[in-house]
Each structure stands twice: as C-alpha cells, then as structure tokens.
Structure 1
C-alpha cells in the first residue's frame, strides 16, 4: 500500500486529531512514514490563529513537492476551512478538506491520484454550519504524554478570533466515551493525559444541549487507574469555578497546573476584545488557586497590539501581570484576521509597536518563569522523564510544569520518579545535580 506522512501545525487539539486520522490510514493498510521518507501522500493539518501560520502552510507544501514532486498533497484544519479556494490555488495542492470533511478523508478521496499539472486542487469544504458532528481523538506515539480531545468548537465570539468560523459551535464527547478513551490510553503505557479542546471549560454540550459539566468530567477521570496524572491544557477564567479549583487541589491525579487566557490586563481592551470577564475576576481566580495550591503553576495567554490598545493600556497589562502571581506567559502579537470584528476597531496599532510590546512581555515572561522555578528549589517533586538529547542528558516535567534536566538513563524514560529539585541552570532549566537526587 501507499506510504502516508503527516505534518501538524498549531495546537494540541490539532495534534490529537492528526494522530486519530493517521490511525485510520494505518487501519486501512497505509504505511505511516516520516515527512522526509518519500511518502506517496502528504496530509497537512493547518492552523490559522495568526498570519504566520498561513505562511507556514505554504512553506510545508513547497517542502513536500521537493521531497516527492509526484506526491499527493491534502490540506485540512482551520486554514483549510477559512480559505479553501485560496489554498486550492497553491501549486502542488491536490485536495482541501474543511472541518466537516477532514474525518471523512479516506471516504472522500479513495485513490489519492494526483491531479494533472496546472489544475487547481479539489475543494471539499462545506459551510461551517455543517460541522456539527463530534469526532473523538487522541494522540499516540507522538510524545511521552497524550493529548485527549474532549471538546470542539466555540460559542464565544471574541473580536480577534476566527476559531468559531473554523471549527463551528461548541460540542463535546460524553463522559463515558472520554473515560473509555482514557482507559485505552492507560493500556498503552501512557503516564500523562493532557485534556484538550477549543473551550474545554464549556464541556458538556451534546446535540446542542448541555448534558454534563467539566467538573463532572474531571471527577470521573480522577478515578481512572493506570494514568499517573491528568493536565488541563487551557481553561477560560470565567469557566474556572471554585469547585474545579478545589477539586484539582484535592485530586489524586490532576496536577497543580492551570493555563488561563487573560489576553489583556486592561478592562477597556477586554471590552473591545469581547471577552466575558474583567481583570478583577482573573485576579480572583489566581488568588483562589494560590490559596489552595501555593506551588501551582499558572500560565497566561496575552495578546499585544489589539486594535484600540493605547500605550497606557499596554502598561496596565504589563503592571497587572508583573504584580500577579503567575508563572509564565504565552505572548501573541495581534494579527488581522479577515471577517473578525477587531478589523473594524480603530486606532490600529503599528506593527513596530506591536513587536516592541511583544518583546517587553517576553522579557517579563522569562523573569516570571525563573522566579517560579527558583521558588521550587529544594522541594521534592514527581517528574515524568522523557527522551534524552544529544548531550547525554534527559528532560522531564514535574506535575506543576517545572522542566527538569538530569543525566540520561534509559530506565527512566516514561517513568515518574520523585526527585529533589536542586538548582536552576544557566539555560533556565531545573537541574538535578546528582543521581541520588532521584529518590524512588
């Protein structure tokens, strides 16, 4: 049978879906190979959160053509749903599949015969309103941990975001299906599951009706034997309830790590963004977490240069974050996305100013991360060890997301061990100085 290769751009959700689709190919007898191993078929799963993601897609198509000029190239994912006609005109693209079609790829394209030279790619992309089915997905064999999709789509019309246009309305799996998937993953020897989705705090909507809640989901997963730890990938602050925080604090398996989007520390800009909370609620969520889990890691998404953001409002964000007890930042430079309300907001922040603000927050993030790491020095933590590097070392993460470096030991790969955290090295990693620092 033909050889197929996959390339994924974007988020954890995309990785889980790519992995699920690749297993569908393997079940049909296709041989999954690396991207540079002369595959007959290239499947590229795209992202369109920023303009740069679109450019990356084009670059990957060019790379595929260089590897195998006769290879069949199919594009799916968010960019494919948003701009199918534009993608179909990229030289070398044979098919474009939208959100409602990507899991039917093998059904819709049975022969994978390349189109004659000069012909545009075939477009198989329905309106986003047709993307109503839920497709369960999880990643396997890609990383030490598994990304388990529990929810898809989003009903939050944030001014800057195309995700509702690319993935459709919020919808979820059932709790029983998610628990069954967790048992399957545990049987593969995976130690950590990361719960992922577009808006996982909104978990529980099935066929347009709310049937359950995210709290009920995490309570059920906490009973799954064989998984050492569960991690929540990202959750909106207005959906992160006191009950969820308290449950994680007392949980057997859910780790003390939250990633909570903020986007701006200015209430005026949050209003322009159409976010569903204000900075006071965010501050309250952080305080609540730290009161129950002082060593909890808290990551923050923040956007700089959103239309209407003045210098004073950016400084509001900076000072708010500087004073907040959080551990690291994911900084996004605003980029214009077609058909989003933000494109009509004035004034527009110049690109040079956006870049300057981004750099300032990147520096703050490193300061926050190092401060958090140093606060953990001398403590005992459980580390899940991963593959080694080329320098005789290996790395892993604690439950509260401290990245640890140790001397390579093949017996430690995919094992959880208690360790003493000794010092932060010059590269900003937590270092285990001696083998005896690994306790059990």
Structure 2
C-alpha cells in the first residue's frame, strides 16, 4: 500500500503543521490526510475539491480531514461520502489522535526553507474572521522550543527559517514575562550564526516591537520582506473590521523602515468588497497599493463566514466583489511588474529550491541555473522576467 499522504491547503502555519503530521505518520500506509483551510468560503470550496480529488486518486485509502475546516465546517465535511473521519484542529499535532507512537521520529522535508510555527490561535476579534473558532486563543512556543525546531530544520538542510503562526506578532504574550517577537528573532540569530536567512510571515504592523523593527531595519540575515496583515486601505472599513491600525499607521511604518532599508519589499493581505464598502472606499483600497508600493499582494474577495459580525452587516453584491478583487489584483500586478523591472541586470543572492526556482532576499521569485543544489544560495543576474519569474 502507498505511504501516508498529507495534502495541505491554506496558510504557512498549515504548511508547517502539515510537515509535522507527515513526520508523525511516517511508516503508516493506506492513509490520506487533508489538512484543510476555512479562512474564506473559497478556501472551504478548495478543501472539498481536494477531498473529492484525493478519493478519486486513492479509492481504497482511509481519508481523514483535519485543519480549520474540520472544526468550522464539521457537519458539512462529515456528511461528505468521501470522508472517513475528522481530526479536531486542536488535536492534529497529538500523535494519540492518529494512533501512532508519540516518539515517531521526524523525517527530512527536503525543503530549502523550514517553516517554524512559533505561535497558534488568536485573541483578537476581527469582525470578518472565523479562524479563532478553529484555532482557539493565542499560545506560544517558548524560546527553547523554537530553537529546537529551528535546529531540526537546519539538520534537514533548511537554509532559511520562516517564522509563522496565526498572529505571529502576539508571540510571547502568554509566556512568563511577556517577551516580544524581536527577542525571539534575536535569540535565533545568536544561537545559529551559521543560519543564512530568517524570514517573517504575515505580521500585524501595529504590534511590531522596537527590537523587531531594528532587526528588520539593520540585520542582513533578516530578509527585507515585510508582509502586513493590512486588510484594507480605508479607515472606516478598518474600524468596521475591528482592526487596530489605521491607514496612516501602516504608511508611517513602511516609510520609517524604508528610510533605513530601501530594498524592503512590501506584501499585504487585502480584502475586496467588505460589507458597506462603497466606491470611495474601494478607491482607497486601490490607492494604498500605490502608497505602500505593495508588490506581494494576497487579495481575498470577501465572503461571509459563519457566526462572524461582518456576516450580519449590509453585504456588497457578489459581482461587485468579484470585480473589485480583480481591480486590486490588477493594481498589484502593475506594481509588481515595475518592481521586477528594477531587478534586471542586478546580481541577486537566490536560495535554490527543488523546482528549479528560488527566492531572492526580497522574495522575488527567480529561475536558478541547472544543477543548483536545493538549499544552496547562488548568485543570479536576471535579464528578463515572465509571468512573475525573473530569468
């Protein structure tokens, strides 16, 4: 029978957890796990598609579903004939839930980048977000636990560590003394001087502490790539989302960082068609892409999620949401094209990955020379770009 297969959808935290599940299930056969996502209605649709596809491809396997959708969409997923069982999201890293030995050894991922989930859950109550229902309250790994995970990833060849979580900048607030994220990043850099790269996943800009700011601004091993959990460019919508930052807060943060580190690349999550959004608000969402020079954009068409306050607000028509999401994507593509143009003819230090591409420090995706070993940092001077890939 085939070895256990783990299919992961959604965020980088889910990717990190998927690797842990794969490690726990090493040696198991005849099992398919769908590690699901429920952040939007579209994500749930992709989860259902993945379940059906997995059943078609492995009709005789035992198919289990875990992840956020396994909690938030429990009744709907358990009713699917393809599904043999559900594992609660809170239990998915517990070997007992899978009936495997707790001491099951980890296996090499073979990835050039290691994803380390330093934090899980969320204590905030954004009006559009269902994830706290599937992830629970914020809880952090200790510094010692994170260092152990980083060391494990490096043992398996990772040359870049990506720190991930649901609300990464809340790391430490549940630990004794309430350490801040900057302290964790500094501890990693000091413990592993041979580690070439540390990259941060999505951050809440209003919670970036002074030490983390300084590391972003001046530490070459912290990659010049800041992905903001921004969500919108209009202050009234941000207020209705129950976000804790304003448009000005985001702009001032980016401006202060770029004064210190001009090569900083900005990414952002943006929601299109949030309830009550009018054309003026949509225009503000578009214009913040220009103001912050967002080149890594994650655009989410708003979809009402069960039990959230935003689902009870006046909704924007679905065709309008679709068009506004397309407008946002188009604007990001325009900024990204100009940004990629600026890389032409400049030597880049690229971390080679298994698929023949890699990423520059600012997360530009680059084709690497044939024969470049995954995990090696190679110098590439692009001469052109096509479909978002520097060549």
Settle same-fold status: TM greater than 0.5: yes
TM-score by length of 1: 0.83
Q: CA separation in 2, counterparts of 1:145 and 1:203? A: 21
Question: Is the 2:120–2:135 Cα contact (8 Å) retained in structure 1?
Answer: yes
Gaps of 5+ in 1: 32-39, 112-137, 389-393, 432-440
Q: CA separation in 2, counterparts of 1:428 and 1:80? A: 34
Gaps of 5+ in 2: 101-105
Q: CA separation in 2, counterparts of 1:229 and 1:109? A: 34
Q: CA separation in 2, counterparts of 1:404 and 1:294? A: 20
Query: Which of the pair has the greater relative contact order for Cα pairs under 8 Å at 6+ separation?
Result: 2
Q: CA separation in 2, counterparts of 1:141 and 1:332? A: 29
Q: Deviations over 1:141-186 (max 9, x none)?
A: 2632111110000111001001111100011000111112212222
**Residue number in structure 2 paired with 1:30:** 28
Q: Deviations over 1:34-81 (max 9, x none)?
A: xxxxxx111111000111222222222222332333321111000011
Q: How many residues align?
A: 385
**Residue number in structure 2 paired with 1:67:** 57
**What aligned pairs does 1:388-403 form with structure 2 within 5 A after superposition?**
388=355, 394-403=356-365
Evaluate the alpha carbon distance shift between residue 110 and residue 402 of structure 1 in structure 2; reply closer, same or farther with a 3 A threshold.
closer
1:417, CA displacement in angstroms?
A: 2.1
Q: 1:364 aligns with which of 327, 331, 352?
A: 331
**Residue number in structure 1 paired with 2:84:** 94
Q: Indicate the RMSD between aligned Cα atoms, in angstroms.
A: 2.1
Q: CA separation in 1, counterparts of 2:123 and 2:111? A: 30
**What aligned pairs does 1:80-91 form with structure 2 within 5 A after superposition?**
80-91=70-81
**Residue number in structure 2 paired with 1:430:** 390
Evaluate the alpha carbon distance shift between residue 381 and residue 46 of structure 1 in structure 2; reply closer, same or farther with a 3 A threshold.
same
Evaluate the alpha carbon distance shift between residue 378 and residue 103 of structure 1 in structure 2; reply closer, same or farther with a 3 A threshold.
same
Evaluate the alpha carbon distance shift between residue 65 and residue 317 of structure 1 in structure 2; reply closer, same or farther with a 3 A threshold.
closer
Q: 1:308 aligns with which of 276, 289, 294?
A: 276
Q: Deviations over 1:170-220 (max 9, x none)?
A: 11000111112212222222111111000111100346x653110100111
Q: CA separation in 1, counterparts of 2:289 and 2:70? A: 35
Evaluate the alpha carbon distance shift between residue 22 and residue 267 of structure 1 in structure 2; reply closer, same or farther with a 3 A threshold.
same
Q: 2:184 aligns with which of 198, 201, 217?
A: 217
Question: Which stretch shows the higher mean deviation, 253-262 or 243-252?
Answer: 243-252
Question: Is the 2:110–2:157 Cα contact (8 Å) retained in structure 1?
Answer: no
Evaluate the alpha carbon distance shift between residue 418 and residue 269 of structure 1 in structure 2; reply closer, same or farther with a 3 A threshold.
same
Matched, 1:53 2:43: yes
**Residue number in structure 2 paired with 1:77:** 67
Matched, 1:251 2:219: yes
Q: CA separation in 1, counterparts of 2:157 and 2:97? A: 34
**Residue number in structure 1 paired with 2:103:** none
Question: Is the 1:301–1:329 Cα contact (8 Å) retained in structure 2?
Answer: yes
Q: CA separation in 2, counterparts of 1:268 and 1:140? A: 47
Matched, 1:384 2:320: no
Q: CA separation in 2, counterparts of 1:212 and 1:245? A: 15
Question: Is the 2:251–2:291 Cα contact (8 Å) retained in structure 1?
Answer: no
Evaluate the alpha carbon distance shift between residue 423 and residue 24 of structure 1 in structure 2; reply closer, same or farther with a 3 A threshold.
same
Q: Deviations over 1:74-128 (max 9, x none)?
A: 1100001112222211102121121232223x524549xxxxxxxxxxxxxxxxx
Q: Deviations over 1:321-355 (max 9, x none)?
A: 22323323211100110100001112x11111011
**Residue number in structure 1 paired with 2:375:** 414
Q: CA separation in 2, counterparts of 1:349 and 1:230? A: 40
> Alignment partner of 1:205: what SS?
coil
Evaluate the alpha carbon distance shift between residue 196 and residue 84 of structure 1 in structure 2; reply closer, same or farther with a 3 A threshold.
same
Q: CA separation in 1, counterparts of 2:299 and 2:13? A: 19
TM-score by length of 2: 0.93
Question: Is the 1:257–1:401 Cα contact (8 Å) retained in structure 2?
Answer: yes
Q: Deviations over 1:10-50 (max 9, x none)?
A: 11111111111221122xx325xxxxxxxx11111100011
Q: CA separation in 1, counterparts of 2:92 and 2:386? A: 44
